[in-house]
Amino acid sequence: MRIFAATFFFSIACSLSWAQESPFFVTYTHHMEEPGNLDIETSSTTGIPRSGQRFYSAPYMELEYGVTAQWTSELYLEGQSAWGDSTVFTGWRLENRYRPLKREHWINPVLYLEYESVSEASRIQKEIEGDGPDLSSRNALLTPEHAHELEGKLILSSNYHDWNISENFVFTKNLSESEGVEFGYAFGVARPLGRLASGENCRLCKENFTIGTEMYGGLGSTLGFGVHNTAHYIAPVVSWAVGANSTLRFSTGFGLTHESNPVLLRIGYAYEFQGFSSRVSRLFGRKP
């Protein structure tokens, strides 16, 4: 598909089309946070159980800051609540993404590195790597099992006319256990419903909506590579720009293997504070 990509002029139109929030919950694109802007998002992942599993909801908060035009940093705080069980704080994550190439290309690579300090009760499933997660044990058994992990991703992303096509390759090393290196993937395609603004002052105009599909799952580890006993999902996604700085996102993921939940429901709300660093500098009497 990439060989049919147009020459460099299409990137200008595509950048305008993709100014709003990506609809994906798992797949990353090459679009970074604007320098000095702070994006705050609250999201939740809800798992519909199989027999012997528990219904759960896993809320989390993201603080995303544009350090530079090529460097975006994020802090995650997460929890989990299981039906008939308990509510627990499951940990935090610090993520950094770096885009080596400044200009738009047919394929835009992004380097990703994240440190995770989370328990085995984590259920936000921002990525899935290795074998399928334990969806049956109680939180009292999972919470004491705390993991310190380093996670890397190679993100490849392209804009082709109105479409964004993104591939993520995941590599995770648990620093607390000798589990080898775990692998995963995510793949997404999406496009805005409307390319150009209609000129109408409305929130339901088609240019305010972006739709797509993402697929993600685990690929085992260096101790046993493959799809055996791994979780995989396919998920239609939609984002709605409800305001100039705010976006709602929705996703319904359908499990493709026995190690997956039959359904994952995701919802997220993000608000972007533009010029956040300049406002803080003025607050403390410093020049931005």
CATH of the domain at 260: 2.40.160.40
Q: What SS3 class is residue 243?
A: coil
Q: State the pLDDT at residue 200.
A: 65
CA dist., res. 121 & res. 145, Å (int): 8
CA dist., res. 10 & res. 162, Å (int): 9
Within-domain flag for 6: no
Within-domain flag for 221: yes
Q: State the pLDDT at residue 88.
A: 97
Within-domain flag for 1: no
Number of domains making up the chain: 1
Within-domain flag for 262: yes
Write out pLDDT tens, residues 178-221.
789 999 999 999 999 987 665 667 788 888 999 999 999 999 99
Within-domain flag for 60: yes
Q: State the pLDDT at residue 14.
A: 39
Write out pLDDT tens, residues 153-163.
999 999 998 99
Within-domain flag for 14: no
Within-domain flag for 273: yes
Within-domain flag for 33: yes
CA dist., res. 125 & res. 14, Å (int): 29
Burial, 26: exposed, middle or buried (Cβ in 10 Å; 0-12, 13-18, 19+)?
A: buried
Note down the domain range covering 85: 20-283
User: Tens digit of pLDDT per residue, the chain (288 long)?
Assistant: 333 333 333 333 333 344 457 999 999 999 999 999 999 999 999 999 888 788 999 999 999 999 999 999 999 999 999 999 999 999 999 999 999 999 999 999 999 999 999 999 999 999 999 887 788 899 999 999 999 999 999 999 999 989 999 999 999 999 988 789 999 999 999 999 987 665 667 788 888 999 999 999 999 999 989 988 899 999 999 999 999 899 999 999 999 999 999 999 999 999 999 987 787 777 776 655
